[in-house]
Amino acid sequence: MKLNVKLFADGADKKGMLEMYANPLISGFTTNPTLMKVAGVSDYKSFARDILTYIKDKPISFEVFSDEFNDMEREALEIASWADNIYVKIPITNTKSESSVDLIDRLSSKNVKINVTAMMTVAQVQSVLHALSKGPGSYVSVFAGRIADAGLDPLPIMNEVVGMLKDYPNIELIWASPRELYNVVQASEIGCDIITATNNILRKLPTLGKDLDQFSLETVKMFYDDAKEAGYSI
């Protein structure tokens, strides 16, 4: 199945990241503090600098973690200085629900590549476009999976953002937090630029376009083999 969307790997496990780096289908990488915590990363800077010795030729996003905008700016400038392929992730607001737009504007004016993260509404995307338009290239990450978790269809929102970005060639849309492989197909069909997914989803890519009768048979065989291996009897 032909895909018209770039695939980014989302994670912070070094082994898993390097596995995906070796996959020619993967065009970039994203991380966040939560993924780093889950992966057992204790030293943020050491982890990032180590990964950057391997991943030099594909975009990779690292996120600030302070809650005050002055501290975010200092962190962002430090992170951006580590390598040319870095996009700095800035959350759309801080924990006090204060907008990050002014910070994004300042960083864009300083030629920092930005990935605005944790967005879920069209209005949030609209609010950052002018600031990002000043920069060298940026991403807007819309968390389609979390929109779906709220019981809402993310497609209308994602479609509207795709349309909005036609006037901003230096800004790319990331479909973030996918919940299943079919989200990759959806992102491709609507013209989304990028989808970032965890390795457990990306490893399923070979099943795209698979014959369903064959897939059904393989599933039956899996159940049979597992029951046999477990030694079940009635």
Q: Report the CATH number at residue 131.
A: 3.20.20.70
Length of the chain: 234
214 domain residue, yes or no: no
Query: In this structure, which amino acid lies at residue 1?
Result: M
pLDDT of residue 140: 98
Cα separation, 18 vs 68, in Å, equals 33
Instruction: Answer yes or no: 58 catalytic.
Output: no
39 domain residue, yes or no: yes
Average pLDDT value for residue range 198-213: 97
Query: In this structure, which amino acid lies at residue 136?
Result: P
Catalytic site residue from 89, 96, 210, 228: 89
231 domain residue, yes or no: no
Q: Indicate if the pLDDT at residue 1 is higher than 90.
A: no
Number of compact structural domains in the chain? 1
Residue 103 pLDDT class (50, 70, 90 cuts): very high
Q: How far is CA 67 from the centre of its chain?
A: 21
178 CB contacts (<8 Å, ≥6 apart)?
A: 144, 145, 184, 187, 195, 196, 197, 201
For residue 162, give its domain range: 6-206
Q: Indicate if the pLDDT at residue 79 is higher than 90.
A: yes
pLDDT of residue 98: 98
